[in-house]
Amino acid sequence: MAKFDGKVVLVTGAAGKGNMAQGIARRFAAEGAKVMVSGRHAAQLEEFAAEIGGAYQLCDITKQDEINALVAATVKRFGKIDVGINATGWGLLKPFEETTEEDLRRMLDVQFKGPFQFMQALVKAMTNGGSIITISSATATIMLENHAAYMGTKAGIDHVIRCIANEFGHKGIRANSISPGVTRTAMAGDSLNIPEVLKAFEKGYPLGRIGTIDDIANAAVWLASDECFMTGQNLQVNGGLTLRGNPTLADFGDAFAAATTHLSS
């Protein structure tokens, strides 16, 4: 019997081919879960849902009515939600002084307001307990230059997770976040194939390598499992990066432009 037989898992942000959300959803499906995936692009979602034997629903995380419709559709189709995972994000890298009001509005919508409202809907739907997980970032704890809006919103939603854990533990709801470091995903683009960029990041990892999507999926499966007696925590799944730190702009040398165009940890 697979670990998640009979469990229902909802994952947001899964419309990007090969992204972190898809890796997480694929892993839960392999563990026997019934998986609902969501995002903004129907064709990609339909293809991926068929691949993992799951279902899909269009949802823009910045729109509360679509969030509520997603949660309702999941309950209607599968009867419940045991695990809700927010894996949406926008990896803005921009100097502090140049970050515009529109940048801030979009970042808040994608990485704070939307996840906040998603978790509100999950708490209402999880009448028999459950596990809520959000994908945070090592940079909610440690520094990376030109990343202030991203870092601030990730840190903010980590504290919301703590509030949920505190207020809804009596309902059997656990809430935790996972903080990757820089990870090989579509968001990173081709930057990690540049030797100078890879070397600059790798020196910050005591375990000697940057993270993978599988690392994060493994952590999500454990956090969502019945064996996990943890709530209100930020799980640092980043090879020890937070013991040292990300590179500075000077560390990138001539690879600066490529590194700061795509990379987000």
The residues that are catalytic are 150
User: Tokens representing 20?
Assistant: 């972190």
Residues 169, 158 contacting (CB under 8 angstroms): no
Q: Could you tell me which residues come within 8 angstroms of residue 257 by beta carbon, excluding any fewer than 6 positions away?
A: none
3-state secondary structure of 5: coil
Cβ atoms of 87 and 13 closer than 8 Å: yes
CA angle (223, 228, 234) in 5-degree steps: 50
Instruction: Residue count of the chain, please give it.
Output: 265
| Number of other residues whose CB lies within 10 A of the CB of residue 172 | 12
CB distance 182 to 192 below 8 Å: yes
Task: Say how far apart CA 115 and CA 150 lie, in whole Å.
Answer: 14
Compute the chain's Rg from CA coordinates: 18
